[in-house]
């Protein structure tokens, strides 16, 4: 797992913390219809609030071409307020203009602000350095909590981390740690289940997984392509016939890597995909003409379950069959429930991700029982493909620059600096006094008049010095401050 800083490293009290969240949620008639992403972002925001940070949330929404108020983030304010236990969320109608700057300056510890859609500016998706600097000027620290956007090199996910001390939020941290355990340092045996309609969309994924896992289960329409590549007749089943050679190459690569590829040995077929259609289970090499393969058969599902019973780690991306339509959800449901039971028993680490996968596990009623379910979509897929994610790389580079505790102190506001610097000056002054006693005496003589001019000076011995002290006390204060200021700079 890449080295990155987390909230545990940040000193956030009194600091303006920019949090990159993914609030790209479904909205209909100005109302959010699914608050899942908002609710998952709340953990980081709440923690920062409780630690006394001034939280500035930024996000993209949709794909606007310039400023388009039909794609404003304003409808997110109410559900975000509810998600953070009723704390009122202030809203700025821009993300870098004067309204955003004024709001950022007005925040008090524990306050939360949401800025307008980042994509109202084309510079966001261009990863523009100037735009990133303007965002960075709004805060003192940067937290990326949007793993789902980490595969994009955008100004708010990559460039901004060059200008502020940066850390991963709790959601980003959980994603990276879960994926690290699943693929980078997994307990073996490792089983991966990959489904989906087309081999062509998951070539990189399959190519990487055969090098990482012990067993690769291939389901969905992709399985049909692999069956066809082996000379098996598949009737009217969905199949990329032009990918047969590629499928054979993946099979050969898996064999060389010592990875077992599990394909169905029996299948559920029907003349069409619809609820209540007449279907039957047949051996995989006896698919009737005019029929379509729509799910793994019971024997094939059992073979997957047996693999899971001895596995220690499961990575799942894509269903085994057309789970949205009954009865072609049976294999996916059986395998999902087994994985959930093994996870609850502490025998299996289960990590799943991808839109269809999350939906399939929800249909099976087990989404809460997996070790981790990612809603990251494209980022989750690219991670499984072994690709570097720009947003994660940016956090890693930031961590390499210097320890974050040190950086957080350097980025503190001037007032905070002064408070911390004052105690540090006293020990330095004592050292100087012990090293050069004559100079220390002169310094003491100069400081004394400022505090108690009359009693500290012997009038008989040094009348001239007394007059100077009485006439120009401010002039004597100034020299005393200069050496201390120089020492602070050297530090």
> Annotated active-site positions, please?
37, 198, 355, 378
Give the span between the Cα atoms of 88 and 106, in whole angstroms.
14
Domain architecture of the chain: domains with CATH? 7-171+390-408 (3.40.50.1260), 186-375 (3.40.50.1260)
Give the span between the Cα atoms of 186 and 178, in whole angstroms.
10
Q: How big is the chain, counted in residues?
A: 491
pLDDT confidence of residue 4: 94
Q: How many CA atoms lie within 13 A of 137 on its CB side?
A: 13
pLDDT confidence of residue 355: 77
Q: Which two tokens stand for residue 257?
A: 């890597």
Question: Which among 299, 220, 312 is positioned nearest to 265, based on CA atoms?
Answer: 299
pLDDT confidence of residue 403: 61
pLDDT confidence of residue 456: 44
Per the CB < 8 A criterion, the answer to whether 16 and 111 are in contact is no
Q: How many CB atoms lie within 10 A of CB 442?
A: 11
pLDDT confidence of residue 2: 63
pLDDT confidence of residue 402: 59
Q: Which two tokens stand for residue 189?
A: 């045996």
Largest alpha-carbon pair distance within the chain?
122
**Does an H or E element contain 379, and which?**
helix 378-384
Task: List C-alpha distances in Å: 329 to 217, 317, 361, 371.
Answer: 16, 15, 10, 22
Task: List C-alpha distances in Å: 155 to 26, 126, 224.
Answer: 23, 7, 41
Sign of CA dihedral 210, 212, 213, 219: negative
Strand order in the sheet with 166-168: 89-92, 112-115, 54-58, 16-20, 141-144, 166-168
Q: Which two tokens stand for residue 333?
A: 């449901």
Q: Along the 491 residues of the chain, how does pLDDT read in single tens digits?
A: 568 999 999 999 999 999 999 999 999 999 999 999 999 999 999 999 999 999 999 999 999 999 999 999 999 999 999 999 999 999 999 999 999 999 999 999 999 999 999 999 999 999 999 999 999 999 999 999 999 999 999 999 999 999 999 999 999 999 999 999 998 889 999 999 999 888 898 989 999 999 999 999 999 999 999 999 999 999 999 999 999 999 999 999 999 999 999 999 999 999 999 988 999 999 999 999 999 999 999 999 999 999 999 999 999 999 999 999 999 999 999 999 999 999 999 999 999 998 789 999 999 999 999 999 998 888 998 999 999 999 999 999 999 885 655 444 444 444 344 344 444 444 444 444 344 444 433 333 344 444 444 444 444 444 444 433 434 444 444 444 444 444 433 33
Give the span between the Cα atoms of 369 and 352, in whole angstroms.
11
| Angle of CA points 449, 454, 459, to nearest 5° | 105
| Long-range contacts formed by 122-126: CB under 8 A, 24+ apart | 122/66, 123/155, 124/60, 124/154, 124/155, 124/156, 125/152, 125/154, 125/155, 126/155
pLDDT confidence of residue 401: 83
pLDDT confidence of residue 42: 97
């Amino acid at each position: 797992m890449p080295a990155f800083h987390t909230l545990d490293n940040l000193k956030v009290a009194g600091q303006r913390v920019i949090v990159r969240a993914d609030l790209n949620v479904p909205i209909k008639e100005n109302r959010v219809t699914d608050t899942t992403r908002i609710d998952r972002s709340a953990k980081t925001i709440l923690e920062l609030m409780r630690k006394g940070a001034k939280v500035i949330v930024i996000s993209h929404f949709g794909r606007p071409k310039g400023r388009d108020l039909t794609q404003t983030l304003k409808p997110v304010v109410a559900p975000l307020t509810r998600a953070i236990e009723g704390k009122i969320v202030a809203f700025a109608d821009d993300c870098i203009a004067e309204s955003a700057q004024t709001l950022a300056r007005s925040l008090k510890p524990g306050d939360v602000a949401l800025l307008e859609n980042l994509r109202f500016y084309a510079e966001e998706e261009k990863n523009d350095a100037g735009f990133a600097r303007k965002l960075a000027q709004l805060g003192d620290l940067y937290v990326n909590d949007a793993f789902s956007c980490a595969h994009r090199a955008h100004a708010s996910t990559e460039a901004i981390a060059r200008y502020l001390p940066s850390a991963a939020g709790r959601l980003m941290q959980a994603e990276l740690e879960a994926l690290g355990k699943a693929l980078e340092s997994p307990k073996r045996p490792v089983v991966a289940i990959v489904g989906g309609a087309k081999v062509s969309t998951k070539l990189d994924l399959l190519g990487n997984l055969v090098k990482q896992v012990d067993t690769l289960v291939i389901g969905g329409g992709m399985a049909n392509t692999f069956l066809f590549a082996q000379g098996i007749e598949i009737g009217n089943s969905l199949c990329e016939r032009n990918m047969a050679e590629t499928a054979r190459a993946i099979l050969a690569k898996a064999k060389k890597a010592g990875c077992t590829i599990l394909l169905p040995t029996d299948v559920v077929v029907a003349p069409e995909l619809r609820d209540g259609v007449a279907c039957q289970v047949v051996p995989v090499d006896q698919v009737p003409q005019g029929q379509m393969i729509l799910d793994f058969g019971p024997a094939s599902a059992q073979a997957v379950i047996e693999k899971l019973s001895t596995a220690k780690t499961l990575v799942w991306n894509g269903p085994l069959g057309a789970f949205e339509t009954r009865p072609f959800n049976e294999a996916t449901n059986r395998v999902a429930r087994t994985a959930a039971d093994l996870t609850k028993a502490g025998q299996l680490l289960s990590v799943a991700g991808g839109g269809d996968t999350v939906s399939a596990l929800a249909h099976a009623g087990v989404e809460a029982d997996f070790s981790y379910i990612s809603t990251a979509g494209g980022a989750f897929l690219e991670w499984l493909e072994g690709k570097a994610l720009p947003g994660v790389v940016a956090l890693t580079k930031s961590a390499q620059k210097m320890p974050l505790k040190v950086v957080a102190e350097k980025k503190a506001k001037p007032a905070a600096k002064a408070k911390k610097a004052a105690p540090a000056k006293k020990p330095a002054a004592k050292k100087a006094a012990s090293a050069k006693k004559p100079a220390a005496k002169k310094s003491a003589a100069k400081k004394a008049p400022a505090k108690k001019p009359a009693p500290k000076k012997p009038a008989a011995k040094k009348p001239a010095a007394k007059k100077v002290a009485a006439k120009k006390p401010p002039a004597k204060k100034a020299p005393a401050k200069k050496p201390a200021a120089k020492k602070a700079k050297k530090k």
